[in-house]
Structure formats: structure tokens, C-alpha cells
Chain A
Amino acid sequence: MSLLHINNLTMRFGGLTAVDAVTETIEPLSLAGLIGPNGAGKTTVFNMITGVYQPTEGEILFDALSIVGSNPHEIANQGIARTFQNIRLFPSLSVFDNVRVGFNNASKTGLFGSILQPGRYWTEEKEIADKIDHLLGMFGLLDNRQELAKNLSYGDQRRVEIVRAMATDPKLLLLDEPAAGMNPTEKVELMNLIRYLRDEFKIAILLIEHDMKVVMGICEKIAVLDHGAKIASGTPEEVKNNPEVIKAYLGESG
């Protein structure tokens, strides 16, 4: 059974159709890519999946349940996490606290529970702190745990964003241009990291990326958007040789 199924998904902003009847499926444990020229509607698709926008038409099924109309935090708690094209960490929070925000709903003790049973609250806090440190350790960020997010290097900020997303315990991770602004070495590290995430955490990953080396290098399946419509999908080889895709990227010859 597919993990995410989007069917006939359409988003109109006034007279502009940003996403036009897109249908696509993401399988559990898959590594999928969403590509297309600038303005093709890729981020809009992400925004609809995560509940930032309500689609004009169409449906989104996650784990066979419709998530259209759910709030962003409800969708996040159901298991979809994301990162952003332009980094959106909480700049004046420490790395530790940034990740802790992702753990916000791991708590079983509510507000009243915390007041009535402070002991249990603090035990739970300790457990969460251990988990955060474990995650930070896996990503080599343990030394930066008390640093403010805004003081980190660009590459580290990108990694913290991924750790924060992983803290919400997702089944599907959406990465919006993870390789943007990275140098070739960092891109190779990123590719390894993405594969590692999928294998270690047993999640599916869908990424938007302009860097073809990255996309072709790690994605098992690629969907191509142009002017909001899906013009192709398939394995990297299939997509690379698809005349429609070439036309969308390079324009018509002659």
C-alpha cells in the first residue's frame, strides 16, 4: 500500500493555476524526487501536503487517510515532516531547543499532568533530552548543542533543520532543495546522509532539487512538473531521456 497518494491535486491562486491536476504516489521507504523549472509549482505541492495551503481540488491520502483540511500541526503529528527552501530554523533558540520543538508532541504528560505529577514530567524531559543528544550525535552536531541556530554555518543550519524534522518522528520526510548553496563535497555528504536517513529511520523521502547530480544520484523515482502540470515520471533514466522534460528545461529547438 502506498504511503502518500495525491490524486488530481490542483491549486489555483485567483486566475493562476499553480498546480494542475497532479497525481502521484509515494511508496514506503522510497526515495523520490520532484523536479521542474523555477515556478513549476513544486513548493506549492509541498505546502499542500503539509497543510499550509488548502488545495482547490483533489485529495491527499496519507496512510490511506485524507489529510486535506487538517492543520499543519495535525499533519506533522501524523508523520509528515519537512525542511524549507530558505532555512527556517528558530534563529535565537539553541540547536538543542530547535530540536526540542520537534519533540513537542512526544510528551504524554499534558499541562495538567505536569502540574499534578511534576516528577513524571521531569523524567520525561530527561528522556527527551537524551533522545535529542542521541540525534545530534548521529549528525555530528553534539558540540553545537548550546549554540544559537543563527550562529551556525550554512551547512550546519541545513543539517539542524533535518534533525529538527526527524525529531517529529516522521514516516515521510519532505526536503525542499536540500543541496541549495552547497559545494560539491557537501553535496556528496548530503546524498549519503539522505540514504542513511532512509535506511536508519525506515522512512520515505521526497525531495525537491535543482541539482541534477543529486537527484539522479539518489532518487529511485522522479516526477517532473512544468507550469503546474506533471509532464513525466519514472526512473532517473526514463526521465532524463524524456523529450517533454528536455523541452521543459531547454526550450523548444528550432
Chain B
Amino acid sequence: MASITQFNPSSPKRDLIIMVVFAVAVLTAPIWLAPVGASYPDLLQRFAIFGIFALGFNILFGLTGYLSFGHAAFLGVGSYAAVWIFKLLTMNVVLAIIFGVLVAAIFAVVVGFICLRRSGIYFAILTLAFAQMFYNLAYSVLTPITNGETALTLALDDPRAIDAMFGVDHGAGLPAPSLFGLELTGFTAFYFCAVVLIIAFWVSLKIFRSPFGLKLLAIKSNQNRMLYTGFNPKPYLLVAFVISGMYAGLAGSLMVITDPLAGAERMQWTASGEVVLMTILGGAGTLIGPLLGAGIIKYFENIFSALHHAQLAESFGFLPNALVEPVVSVVSLFVGEGWHLTLGILFMLVVIFLPGGLMEGIRRLSAYVRAKRAGDGEETVAGGATQPSE
């Protein structure tokens, strides 16, 4: 039994508690993340945005088992769409987000319709191919829309028609995104993203508890039985694909609220791979897992990629002098520019040893502890396997 395919119908009361705890945890993140040095708005926003991205990816991969390798494309599309709204119409983020999500949805309908004609490996390859195609196009023919390598940015002479109509004055410099006059910078921006994350999580929770979610899990479990039970799996898969594409578009448009700039590198396969990693690291198919994975990866990326040689030499100063240099040069392979190497190794380790992700690890650990406590000398399997094979 590789991945977790379980449906938890839960109860309205329990879900309410989950929602309240989650909302409190997210909104107080600046406080409880302070001790680990992660309480500045820029990083907190990244947690929220990638959390949304991973939540959406999980609705597809976690529930249906269809592995998409091209989800970053929808994120990129959402970013471009949102920046265009900023440029042409208004700096008010509401419209930008709606448009970003909508455009991502349209792309997801088209891509999903085609890719979902196949499953398994074919599906993974096809989504990857589509993402590469969008990436190539963004750098070539579509440069009038994407601005190619220089990335799409705001300019002083952008029309911003709606703002102009209502006489919104953005001052002399480049305008900042706002929510009905409230300028979204610093912690304000984080709290905005946090609220969006809470809503996104609520939707995801609802889907997980719904008959729709149960049917998606059933498709993952046995598509053949689904057919003979009278279900047409295709529209279910397409809807799941489009929802997860919309989450990606939402994440993409939130990204440009933090920093009004959209570049094609956001759509590269490495970016698609990253969201896959986040999801499986935390635990695909679990509610919280993907958020956990996104948080951990973004946190360590932040720390690791900022480290450089001198800092390392300092932190390894306790070693004998002759050792410092070799140790530092080995370690520096994995930090700074080498962060992606760490990521790749992490990716492999998770897949090899913990395909169920951290949530699976936690489950096993707690099962182990319980078994320890319960039975002295009793032969309880520590694997926490709930489904012994026949």
C-alpha cells in the first residue's frame, strides 16, 4: 500500500475545530514563527502562496492519483494575467486575482481535456510537455504578452483605465497593489494572503469531506469498478484538474501582489517538480501534509540559499583548523547556489524511504509509541500498517 487513500467523513463539529485551529495558527504565524527567524512578511507570504499551490496540487494528485508535471504553467499563467490587469485596468487586487484564477481555469480546461485522455505515465509526460510548450512560447512568440526574458513588469505609463476613471492617484513612483485603497505591503500583504489561504484550505477541506471527494478517491482506487458502478470518471478528473489549476492560478496571482513581476522561469519544469515535492514531502492525500511540505521547503530554501562561504567558515569555526576548509567546501555544495542539489537529494530520500510523506511518518511514529506503551513484549507491528495484505 504505497499512498494514503483513505476517506475520512469526519463530523461538522470536528471540521469546525480544525478550521478554527488552522485559522488561528495561520493568523498568529508571525508570533510563533519568530523563534525560528521566519516571521518576516516576505517569507510568511511565500509560505501562504506555496501552501495554496500545494493544496491545489493535492486535490488532483492526492485524491485522484494523477501525477501532473506541468502545474507550474498554471501558476505562471495566473501571474501574467494578474500583472496585465494591474497594467491595463486597476491596481486593486480583487480583479487581478479573479482574472488570474479565471485564465488559469481556461488553460486547465484545455490542457486537462487533452491530457486526461490518457492516464499514468502518459498523463505525467503530457502535462510536462504542455508546460514546456508554454514555457517555450513565453520566451519566443508570446514576448509581446510575456515580455520574454526581461519579465513582465509595471510601467509608469501603463493606462490603468479603471483607476484613471475613478481618479485614483498613485503618486509619482510605480504604484503598489491595493485592496480598495488599502496598500498591500509588508504585514498587510501577508494577512491578505493568509486570509486567502484560510479560504483555500476551507474549500479543500470541504472537497475532502464531500461525496465528490469520495468519488475522486474511488477513481484512484479502482477506475474500472467506477465505470461499472455507473460513473463517468472523465468529468470528475477534469473538474479536479481544473480546480487544482485554479489554485495554481490563485497562487500565481498572489505572487504578483507581493511583487508585481511575472517571468517565464516560474513555469519551468523545476517549478512543477517543486510543488510535487512539497506535496509528497508532507504527504499526498492528506489535508495538512502539502502545507507542511510547502512550509518546510520554503523555510529551508530561505536559510540554505542565503548561506555562503564566509558564514559557513564561521559556523564551523569550532573544528580544528585543518578540517574547517574541507568541511566548508563540502557543505557549501549543498547551500547557496547548491540548494537545488539538496532539494533533489531530499526528493529522492522522501520517495525511497517515506513515500507517504511526513504525515505518514508521524502516523507511524505515533503508532509505534502507542504500541510501545500498550504491549510489553507483545508483537505489534510498528509499521502502523492498517491494511495488512491478504
B is a partner of A: no
Which residues of A are interface residues toward B (Cβ below 8 A)?
A: none
